[in-house]
Structure 1
Amino acid sequence: MGYKHSENNYSPFSKKVSSSIIFVAVYVDDVIITGTDSVEIANLKSFLDGQFKIKDLGKLHYFLGLEVLYKPDGVIISQMKFTLDLLKEYDYFAYISLSSSLDPAMKLKADEGTLLPDPTYYIKLVGKLNFLTNTRLDIAYSV
């Protein structure tokens, strides 16, 4: 079909046809298709449906923990739902919000504190917080 993957990452694909361009982002079984040529997009969807029986969810609203909100002057990408689900899952609604003023000179020590009764609980939480820090650089330092 003429799509080329990125040289740096095998997930995004693109295809240029004269003055139009189509972008495809794939993560496991989640796919985003966008571009400037609606006929080419329809052809791609038809091809993929013939190969895999896809479900077209229409305009993008949610993808891999990211919410997409459309405004007249642009698009807002948010992780509010992911963050609220995370707070609910780990029962953090009972805690008050504080500003995080972590001292950059503070030295953390591995032998302080008590061992957790279930380390998998902590490992899952850290994984989800890492996801947030990789997609929200404004909170990366404090997390």
Structure 2
Amino acid sequence: MRIPQGFSKEGETRVCKLKKSLYGLRQASRNWYHKFAKALINVEFQQSRNGESFVVALIYVDDVILTGNDANKIQEVKVHLNKNFGIKDLGPLKYFLGIEVARSPQGIVLSQRKYTLDILQEAEMLGCKPSPFPMEQNYKLRLDHDGPRTDAARYRRLIGRLLYLTVTRPDIAFAVNVLSQFVASPQQNPHECGRTSLTISKISSWPRNYVDSHGKFDIRSILRR
């Protein structure tokens, strides 16, 4: 840091005090931490001062997922919840909100196989042949106010379910994003494309996401045809 030119006369010795931190200064990161922590505490976050152990609880109605970096702390939370609510411990997570979870020493695999089958069954497409692509290549979709209409409620439900399917199926994300542009005025062509996006899911080796357990957080999608 230097005093701006013209601020002091030559030969004068001055010390300036900064009003706020600047990037690159030794104390900048510490000051930012305190400012950020204060902002979170003001909206009722709680700052832990008891070491590095933490437990995260994901709550959906009356289903709760517990995770953390200390198995003993997780068990303490389970005991506390059981005293208050009489919970049922189902053990390691295997299925939650349509997502199947499989563990191995190498990592965790996430899949929506059952959820996909449910969508296919609802759309009466269990007997359909698999499609190599979620949408025909170079296929142009445009809004045609005079074109044939399809059931709006059914189309919106299909798109909503396909959107949730992209949690473990990033390969259909682009197609679903394009089709979602027609939810306000669904027509026959987009609806047929939505059904085509479903057929890609019906393949012999089900796509899944793999999370490596060896330190580095690396999500990989495994897609086989």
- The TM-score normalised by the length of structure 2 is 0.50
CA contact under 8 A between 1:21 and 1:36: conserved in structure 2?
yes
Q: Which runs of 5+ in 2 are unaligned?
A: 1-39, 41-46, 177-225
Query: Residue deviations 1:22-47, cap 9 Å, x none?
Result: 22222222211012322211221122
CA contact under 8 A between 2:110 and 2:168: conserved in structure 1?
no
Q: Which amino acid aligns with 2:162?
A: L
CA distance in 2, matches of 1:122, 1:16: 50
SS in structure 2 of the partner of residue 108 of structure 1? coil
SS in structure 1 of the partner of residue 117 of structure 2? helix
Aligned length: 131
1:127 is matched with 160
SS in structure 2 of the partner of residue 41 of structure 1? helix
1:61 aligns with 2:105: no
Q: Which amino acid aligns with 1:42?
A: Q
Q: Which runs of 5+ in 1 are unaligned?
A: 1-6, 8-13
5 Å-filtered alignment, 1:96-115, equals 96-100=129-133, 101-103=135-137, 106-111=140-145, 113-115=147-149
- From the superposition, tell whether residues 78 and 15 of structure 1 become closer, same or farther in structure 2 (CA, over 3 Å): farther
Q: Structure 1: which 4+ aligned runs deviate by more than 6 Å?
A: none
Query: Residue deviations 1:105-133, cap 9 Å, x none?
Result: 824214254223x5333332221112113
Query: Residue deviations 1:36-89, cap 9 Å, x none?
Result: 322211221122223333221111000111100112311101111111121122
Q: Highest relative contact order (Cα 8 Å, sep 6+), 1 or 2?
A: 2
SS in structure 2 of the partner of residue 20 of structure 1? coil
| Identical aligned residues as a percent | 38
Query: Residue deviations 1:9-28, cap 9 Å, x none?
Result: xxxxx968423232222222
1:43 aligns with 2:92: no
- The TM-score normalised by the length of structure 1 is 0.74
